[in-house]
């Protein structure tokens, strides 16, 4: 019988990897901010804080409602992203999953097609 501690010991490299990744990500985010705060001149003024990308202030409130077409484009993206993410592993393992896997994927594709038809009927593919 295998001891439970040996199972937990197998997770130690994963925990070490996650610790190193967390440390590096925190360092890459906060270290440049701290160095720039210590070495740079922090003197914000109205000119420095003004809009510089487009050159003029925004016309309306940034919390305004979006047109429904933005959401429909997001639905289309999810449809094609899910299709690409699930079809390749399914195609690779189709031999092992058999008819049950094939029927399940056909049901999944049918649901995606229904979503695609919905987006098409709402006009998400009509660009003006």
Look up the pTM and report it: 0.43
CATH of the domain at 101: 1.20.58.1610
Render pLDDT for 77-98 as a digit per residue (tens, 0 to 9). 887 887 888 888 888 988 898 9
Whether residue 38 is found in the same domain as residue 84: no
The predicted structure's pLDDT at residue 52: 65
Whether residue 32 is found in the same domain as residue 82: no
50 within domain boundaries: no
Percent of the chain's residues with pLDDT above 70: 86
Q: Are 93 and 86 in contact (CB under 8 A)?
A: no
8 within domain boundaries: yes
1 within domain boundaries: yes
Render pLDDT for 36-73 as a digit per residue (tens, 0 to 9). 888 877 777 777 777 666 666 666 666 777 777 777 77
4 within domain boundaries: yes
d(CA 118, CA 121): 5
The domain of 88 spans 64-128
Residue 2 has pLDDT above 80, yes or no: no
Residue 32 has pLDDT above 70, yes or no: yes
Whether residue 32 is found in the same domain as residue 77: no
């Amino acid at each position: 019988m295998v001891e439970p501690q040996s199972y937990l010991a197998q997770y130690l490299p994963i925990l070490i990897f996650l610790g190193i990744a967390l440390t590096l990500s925190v360092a890459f985010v906060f270290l440049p901010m701290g160095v720039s705060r210590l070495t740079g001149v922090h003197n914000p003024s109205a000119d420095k804080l003004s809009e510089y990308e487009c050159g003029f202030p925004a016309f309306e409130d940034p919390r305004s409602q979006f047109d429904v077409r933005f959401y429909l484009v997001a639905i289309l993206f999810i449809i094609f992203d899910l299709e690409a993410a699930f079809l390749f592993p399914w195609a690779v393992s189709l031999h092992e999953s058999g008819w049950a896997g094939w029927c399940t994927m056909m049901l999944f594709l049918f649901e995606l097609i229904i979503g695609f038809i919905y987006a098409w009927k709402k006009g998400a593919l009509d660009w003006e």
